[in-house]
Chain A
Amino acid sequence: MDRKERFVLLLREAGDKAYNFAFQLAGNDADARDLVQEAAVRAFENMARYDSARPFDTWMLTILRNVFLDWRRRARLRAAEPLDAGEGGLAEFLAGPDLDPAETALRGESAADVQRALAALPEHYRAAVVLSDMEGLRYEDIAEVLDVPVGTVRSRIHMGRRLLKKILAETRGGAYGTA
């Protein structure tokens, strides 16, 4: 088995995890496919730097996110598209009290509601929440993928969930009125 075949085997094993993460980052299948392909090619070209003591899928997710950020950075430079407000952009909201009884639980929201709310999260929160809750990664591994300290992972996941709750509460507000 040559190294290309070995690599494709690894890719098949890590594939669903990588693809789901890519989909949650990009928001659609066409871009998710492009992202995984590009990340896989980059991973293959950099296999010499892969530490085989670490899980391959974590490494693949790391490269995937870097490819995503590269693409997005260039898109932003090019078209100045409205993207994330950034770490400080939600400061006003996040500085508010977070024990609002009106939004303290999921109340029968559909998966579509949750998915929509997740897609509306700024990327640095969404990536952390997806890696934790959908991909089942430990904070230590999330820190590696996002290239931030574990303390930052903690805050991003918590802020991300608060924002998710807020978005879901607003969704619910439309249907049920604010409690």
Chain B
Amino acid sequence: MERHEDRFLLSAAADGELTGAEKSRLDAHVSVCAACRGELDALRALKAGVAALPRRAMPLSLPDVVAARLGAEPAPGRRWAAWLWEPAAWVPAGALAAAALWTLFAAPEPVEAEALPLEELMASHARCAVESIVPTGDLVAAEFSSRLQSRLEAPHARR
């Protein structure tokens, strides 16, 4: 077979995600096509390279931090969640709408974006990034700062 198969099939083959028919077709092609065989090997090597990267483990304290937040009063939407969580409770549509409204009005007041100490936030984000194992230069430029962003999101959420 001279014609190369759809290249997506090569990655799917490396992942063991081909259907039986696709696999037969690709096997037949790869057995006679050195280019596709080489590409398949390269994709497998790449997959192995990514799979071998050190994984980040969740900080042990994080579930406790979350648990504390769940217990805390101001998590917006908790009343809504409670309605949903107990299906046994009969909830008229009006009450659901009221609960939804409650979550809107119970949300904390947004911080004025203009009042934020932006430079300080930026600097602290840069420090966080430096501590990470990921090389920082390109990444910081390419990625957002969710830390900064989480301070800014409230005004948008209210639009």
Residues of A within 8 A of B (CB): 3-4, 7-8, 11-12, 15-16, 18-20, 23, 26-38, 40-41, 44-49, 68, 70-72, 74-79, 81-83, 98-99, 101, 103-106, 109, 111-112, 114-116, 118-120, 129-130, 132-134, 138-139, 154-155, 157-158, 161, 164-165, 168
Contact = CB atoms under 8 A, between A and B. Distances in A.
23 contacts: A3-B85, A8-B64, A8-B67, A28-B134, A29-B132, A30-B125, A31-B128, A31-B146, A34-B150, A38-B150, A45-B78, A48-B87, A72-B149, A78-B113, A78-B156, A83-B143, A83-B144, A106-B46, A112-B133, A118-B50, A119-B138, A154-B8, A161-B46
A122 B55 CA distance: 20
Interface in B111-159: 113, 125, 128-129, 131-135, 138-150, 152-153, 156-157
Contacts of A106: 42, 45-46, 48-49
B52 interface: yes
Contacts of B12: 139, 154, 157-158
Nearest to B16: A138
A71 B71 contact: no
Nearest to B154: A74
Interface in B19-59: 35-36, 38-39, 41-43, 45-59
B15 to A, nearest CB: 6
B102 interface: no
B149 A78 contact: yes
Contacts of A34: 146-147, 150
What 5 A-B pairs have minimum CB-CB distances, sorted nearest first?
A: A48-B84, A19-B58, A15-B58, A158-B11, A30-B128
Question: What is the interface of chain B mostly: helix, strand, loop, or mixed?
Answer: helix
B62 A4 contact: no
Contacts of A155: 8
Contacts of B149: 71-72, 74-75, 78
Contact of A44 (B48, B59, B70, B135): B70
Contacts of A32: 56
Size class of the B contact interface (CB-based, 8 Å): 35 or more
Contacts of B93: none
A164 to B, nearest CB: 6
Contacts of A31: 128, 145-147
Contacts of B63: 8, 11-12, 15, 40
Given A8-B63, A71-B149, A82 B142 contact: yes
Contacts of A15: 58, 62-63
Contacts of B129: 27-28
Contacts of A114: 49-50, 52-53
A105 B53 contact: no
Given A27-B143, A106-B49, A44 B81 contact: yes
B46 A48 contact: no
